[in-house]
Chains A and B, each alone.
Chain A
Amino acid sequence: MQEPAITPELVAAHGLKPDEYERILEIIGREPTFTELGIFSAMWNEHCSYKSSKRWLRTLPTSGPQVICGPGENAGVVDIGDGQAIIFKMESHNHPSYIEPYQGAATGVGGILRDVFTMGARPVASMNALSFGLPSHPKTRSLVSGVVAGVGGYGNCFGVPCVGGEVRFHAAYNGNCLVNAFAAGLADADKIFYSAASGVGMPVVYLGAKTGRDGVGGATMASAEFDDTIEEKRPTVQVGDPFTEKCLMEACLELMATGAVISIQDMGAAGLTCSAVEMGDKGGLGVRLDLEKVPVREKAMTAYEMMLSESQERMLMVLRPEKEAEAKAVFDKWDLDFAIVGETIAEDRFLIMLNNEVKADLPLSKLSSEAPEYDRPWVPTPAAKPLADAPEIDAIEGLRALIGSPNYGAKNWVFEQYDTMVMADSARTPGAGAGIIRVHGTKKALAFTSDVTPRYVKANPEEGGKQAVAEAYRNLTAAGALPLASTDNLNFGNPEKPEIMGQFVGAIKGIGAACAALDMPIVSGNVSLYNETDGSAILPTPTIGAVGLIADTAQIIPQAVREGDVALLIGETKGHLGQSALLAEAFGREEGDAPAVDLAAEKRNGEFVRANYARLNACTDLGDGGLALAAFEMAEAAGLGVTLSVATTAQLFGEDQARYLVACSAEAAKALAEAAAKAGVPVAEVGRFGGKTVSLGGAAAPLAELSALYRGSFAKAVA
């Protein structure tokens, strides 16, 4: 087949800028072949190269005594004691999900699960942070139903429990939804598998599903803004097969146990290209591939198509040659394709052959380590004006505005479509703070949360970035867990715009400061830029996924509010209403500055809650909706009413940080007050749980009525 001539138009269609193309010419000293152009485009796009973000990502804290492996591998690895490790990462699948919601979301889940089991871990928990446009927007309902079904369709079949996540709606996501998928797996700390190849002449082995033409150019698509040609991009979305992935996972884990695996890399974005380059580059080796040996499911595939296909459920491994027969037996057992498609070579070469014809011959190290890196111009986000004329509202009306919105209504419509209990270790399923799973066969448990408040980040990227980490810290703490580490999924608009880059830089500074202060290093992550449609950007959404350790399941803070329990507020209340949920939902105003985050207070208050877990019948972090929403949710979950003595709008709905609401006996409340005085932690009794009425200051309404509103608002808005 005649390959197309390399023209400026073809180069541009591959998402490469003229100066980037010049760099290619400089590196190879000649015009690239069509396949080579495709390879450069796959390696140098934003999604794979992090060229706009790398410089800033380096500033994040990534180490600590608990960190076994930080960013740079398929997922981060964190020590949980007793020779065990938790391996986790969060990754976006935004663009594909907007184009094709079911498959886009499904393959997002599939990709993140592969990242985890590639490292030798069995996935044990997943979460999904979803952001959609307004429910009234014509696309939203189909996106919500498709994305939720896709997340469930993949994860349920694979057999990993979903333990948490977020769902939000905002007009800024009308043309660009966000699907951020998190997965975590367990492994023995001394049995982690990495991607660096070692040894010359070692067989490069292809495993899993066959290669088709699906997803060719997917990573390049995901690195561009959307416009009205979006429908034409549908073929760049991959199709998922969770059954094959489940078999691939079982086969990989069995194979790893035989000692046959030297290195392993899953084929995700930019498929065969990215995985082979990664293994070679990390090991300081070259790689030769003979493409005619690649298992294909379509006829007459070109080298270009095979190198750029994003067909799912595939792995590349470097195996010990003497274990080949053993390895093949494992894959025959699981009826998966297994083929030796190349070998490691000593020269710095990425040599791609098809039927003995050279299709690409590139210096391998230049593809990855020497990919372009930009210091994009950025301008700091102008300081937000403080909120003028903070409104007053009848407290029950304010609560109704929140719980009647799909943003703050119960999310059972979503979570009940996910298997939240498979593996039979779920100690807390989604819907109430952090999710918890027991570490199988031990007394330990792990808590998981995913958090960000995009309104805050937009108003004040640095405080908003801090707040996302601080909220994750509080959610883990409220479950009784010691926060261990985090993963960040940074969703922003077009980084070539200095104001968007300014949001990114600000958020990174805030996240970095909070992760350092709260000892939650970033161990893995993903950046998704160009989340814009027709020039209009999403709210900056740096999602923080975090993991905490509970040494003994007996230390889990329960959610067992009892009749007559005291409602105790931990932390200082100033009544910050700027950028609050109340302001947005009840008044349609997104004004003012984000609440300030006092990291020292976060740490102090968090340590206080964890130290006093045994005195608490229930605990929740205060976030969106402040004290009023937290107290309602805590009471409603127990089927009880609540009476709060505080009365002003600012006290009830203010979103000051570093706060928790706890329920405890009167006796425990007394002891807590004494302990708090010693620790320098502000504590105030704010009311009582019990009865069947929700009473906030002077206003009151029957629990049953509010509960019906709370439990029905989500389905009413989107179903």
Chain B
Amino acid sequence: MKAAVIVFPGSNCDRDLAEAFRAAGADVTMVWHKDSDLPKGVDIVGIPGGFSFGDYLRCGAIASRSPICSAVVEHTKRGGYAMGVCNGFQVLTETGILPGALLRNAGLKYICKTVQLKVETSNSAFTSGYNAGDVLGIPIAHHDGNYYADAATLDALKGEDRVAFTYAENPNGSQRDIAGVLSANRRVLGMMPHPERAADPGHGGTDGAAMFRALVGVLTPA
């Protein structure tokens, strides 16, 4: 499997995401935001956490106008896979690839801690390594992770089984406890928690590793 991890100025989880992919067996290329094309033959694009462009204007807004993001939109339109973690999720909603928006946490403070995440569906390349109902310990680290969408969108996400993860205890005010959502074709995942920070025994938890393993399993040609 070939993965591309996008690097914006201000990305600070790019290395961590790349290493989680690599540990699962992927071949990873780092791609600078000023590039206008993805490397040839990329199976999945990873958009990492951090503070792209300092979170100025609106989290993810400036990054979503970067040259590389046009290529990412094209890639997903062609049915390509992508995952955005934390700031990457914010970028994906700003590009319109995923619905909704991430607002400031309800408590108005930045929160960093390990939370309990409930797997809502195993029906995706990202979550096929889990069973629906599994509870995972995965860290969050964000100031703007409060998922918002209008009622019709939320109903549709639920109806189409596109809510990937929910919080067992809602830390940030997200509607319907949503922590991660899938695109309509189930090939794009955006999530606020950081699975790449729970992918190695040295992290203190490995509940996120199954996501990267499952992706490599699905996307590696037999």
Minimum CB distance partner of B199 in chain A: A424
Closest A-chain residue to B12, C-beta based? Answer: A159
Cβ–Cβ < 8 Å partners of B200 in chain A: 424
Please state if A424 and B141 are interface contacts (CB–CB under 8 Å): no
In the bound complex, residues from chain A placing their C-beta under 8 Å from that of B109 are 149, 416-417
B51 near A156 (CB under 8 angstroms)?
A: yes
> When each residue 185-196 of chain B gets 1 if its CB lies under 8 Å from chain A and 0 otherwise, what string results?
000000000101
Contacts of A530 in B (CB 8 A): none
Bound CA–CA A420/B197 (angstroms): 11
B206–chain A nearest beta-carbon distance, Å = 12
Task: Indicate which residue in A243, A335, A421, A553 contacts B51 across the interface (CB closer than 8 Å).
Answer: A243
Contact of A416 with B16 at beta-carbon distance under 8 Å, contacts A157-B55, A246-B9, A424-B197 already known: no
Highest count of chain B CB atoms <10 Å: which of A242, A418, A421, A438:
A421
Answer whether A156 and B202 are a contact pair too, CB < 8 Å, given A243-B56, A335-B9, A422-B141: no
A611 at the B interface (CB under 8 A) = no
Size of the chain A interface, CB-CB below 8 angstroms: 33
Kindly state whether residue A152 has any CB partner on chain B within 8 Å: yes
Q: Which residues of B contact A158 (CB under 8 A)?
A: 12
Whether the Cβ atoms of A243 and B53 lie closer than 8 Å is: yes
> When each residue 431-448 of chain A gets 1 if its CB lies under 8 Å from chain B and 0 otherwise, what string results?
000000010000000000
Inter-chain contact A241/B110, CB cutoff 8 Å: no
Inter-chain contact B112/A420, CB cutoff 8 Å: yes
Complex Cα–Cα for A243 and B53 (A): 7
Question: What distance in Å separates the Cβ of A167 from its nearest Cβ neighbour in chain B?
Answer: 16
B54 touches A418 (CB 8 A): no
CB-CB under 8 A from A426, the residues of chain B are 203-204
Question: Which residue on chain A has the smallest CB distance to residue B52?
Answer: A243
Instruction: For the complex, give the distance between the alpha carbons of A417 and B54 in Å.
Output: 17
Asked if residues A334 and B197 are in contact (CB atoms below 8 Å), the reply is no
Which residues on the B side are within 8 Å of A246 (C-beta)? Answer: 9-10, 12, 51
Is A419's beta carbon under 8 Å from chain B?
A: yes
Do B51 and A417 have beta carbons less than 8 Å apart? no
Which residues of chain A have C-beta atoms less than 8 A from B56's C-beta?
243
With beta carbons under 8 angstroms apart, the residue of B12, B13, B110 that contacts A417 is B110
How far is A153 from B144 in the complex, measured between Cα atoms in Å?
A: 13
Q: Which of A241-267 contact B (CB under 8 A)?
A: 241-244, 246-247, 250
Is B113 interfacial (CB 8 A cutoff)? yes
B19 contacts the other chain (CB 8 A): yes
* Chain B contacts for A419, CB-based, 8 A: 110, 112, 141
Tell me the bound Cα distance from A335 to B53 in angstroms: 11
**B110 near A156: Cβ-Cβ < 8 Å:** yes
- B46 at the A/B interface (Cβ < 8 Å)? no
Contact A553 B54, CB 8 Å, known A417-B110, A423-B16: no
Q: Which residues of A contact B19 (CB under 8 A)?
A: 424
Residue among A156, A418, A427 with most chain B CB within 10 A: A156
For A156, list chain B residues within 8 Å (CB). Answer: 51, 110, 112, 141, 143
Task: Using A157-B51, A241-B54 as known contacts, say yes or no to A422 and B110 having CB atoms under 8 A apart.
Answer: no
Residues on B with C-beta less than 8 A from A416 are: 109, 111-113
* A423 CB contacts on chain B under 8 angstroms: 12, 15-16
Q: Does A563 contact B (CB under 8 A)?
A: no
B139 at the interface (CB under 8 A from A): yes
* A422-B141, A438-B202 known; A152 vs B110 contact (CB < 8 Å): yes
Q: In the complex, how many angstroms separate the beta carbon of B144 from the nearest chain A beta carbon?
A: 12
**Contact indicator B112/A157 (Cβ below 8 Å):** no
Q: Does A499 count as interface, using CB distance less than 8 angstroms?
A: no
Distance (whole angstroms) from the CB of B73 to the closest CB of chain A = 23
**How near does chain B come to A183, taking the closest CB pair, in angstroms?**
15
How many Å lie between the Cα of A157 and that of B53 in the bound state? 10
Q: Does B99 contact A (CB under 8 A)?
A: no
Proximity string of chain B (39-82) to chain A, C-beta cutoff 8 Å, 1 when within and 0 when not: 00000000001110111100000000000000000000000000
B contact residues, range: 20 to 34
Q: Is A425 an interface residue when CB atoms closer than 8 A count as contact? A: yes
Selected from A243, A420, A421, A553, the residue in CB contact (under 8 A) with B10 is: A243
Report the Cα distance A412→B111, complex, angstroms: 10
Which B residues lie within 8 Å of A243 (CB)?
9-10, 51, 53-56
Residues of B near A250 (CB, < 8 A) are 9
A415 to B19, CA, bound (A): 26
Query: Which residues of A have CB within 8 Å of B9?
Result: 243, 246-247, 250, 334-335
A425 to B200, CA, bound (A): 10
Say how far A102's CB is from chain B's closest CB, in angstroms.
Answer: 13
- Given contact pairs A152-B110, A156-B110, A422 touches B51 in the complex (Cβ within 8 A): no
Within residues 581 to 638 of chain A, which ones have a CB less than 8 A from any CB in chain B? Answer: none
Least distance between B222 CB and chain A CB atoms (Å): 31
Instruction: Tell me whether A421 and B202 are in contact (CB under 8 A).
Output: no
Are A421 and B111 in touch, CB under 8 angstroms? no
Q: Is the CB of B202 within 8 A of A553?
A: yes
Chain A 316-338 interface 0/1 with B at a Cβ cutoff of 8 Å (1 = within)? 00000000000000000111000
Residues from chain A with a CB closer than 8 A to the CB of B113 are: 412, 416
- Are the CB atoms of B12 and A425 closer together than 8 Å? no
**Complexed CA–CA distance, A156 and B55 (Å):** 11
* Distance between B8 CB and nearest chain A CB, rounded to angstroms: 10
User: In the assembly, what is the distance between CA of A369 and CA of B107, in Å?
Assistant: 51
Per-residue interface assignment for chain A, residues 537 to 559, with 1 indicating a CB less than 8 Å from any chain B CB and 0 otherwise: 00000000000000001000000
Taking CB atoms and an 8 Å cut-off, the chain B residues in 176-222 that contact chain A are: 194, 196-197, 199-200, 202-204
Instruction: Say whether B54 contacts A421, CB under 8 Å.
Output: no
Contacts of A427 in B (CB 8 A): 202, 204
A320, chain B: closest CB distance, angstroms:
26
**C-beta contact mask, B143-168 vs A, less than 8 Å → 1, else 0?**
10000000000000000000000000
Complex Cα distance A170/B143, Å? Answer: 30
The CA of A242 and the CA of B12, in the complex, are separated in Å by 12
Which residues in chain A, 291-346, are within 8 Å of chain B measured between CB atoms?
333-335
Q: Which residues of B contact A333 (CB under 8 A)?
A: 32, 34
Q: A156-B110, A417-B109, A427-B204 are in contact. Are A247 and B10 (CB under 8 A)?
A: yes
Residues of B within 8 A of A422 (CB): 12-13, 16, 49, 141
**What separation, in Å, do the CA atoms of A159 and B141 have in the docked complex?**
11
Query: Can you list 8 pairs linking A and B with CB atoms under 8 Å apart?
Result: A152-B110, A156-B141, A243-B53, A416-B111, A417-B109, A417-B111, A421-B112, A424-B15
A-B complex: 8 closest residue pairs judged by Cβ atoms? A243-B54, A159-B12, A424-B16, A157-B51, A419-B141, A417-B110, A419-B112, A247-B9
With contacts A159-B13, A246-B10, A335-B9 known, what are 16 further pairs, Cβ within 8 A?
A149-B110, A156-B112, A156-B143, A157-B51, A159-B50, A242-B54, A243-B10, A243-B56, A418-B110, A418-B112, A419-B141, A421-B197, A424-B19, A424-B199, A427-B202, A427-B204
Interface residues of A (CB under 8 A from B): 149, 152-153, 156-159, 241-244, 246-247, 250, 333-335, 412, 415-427, 438, 553
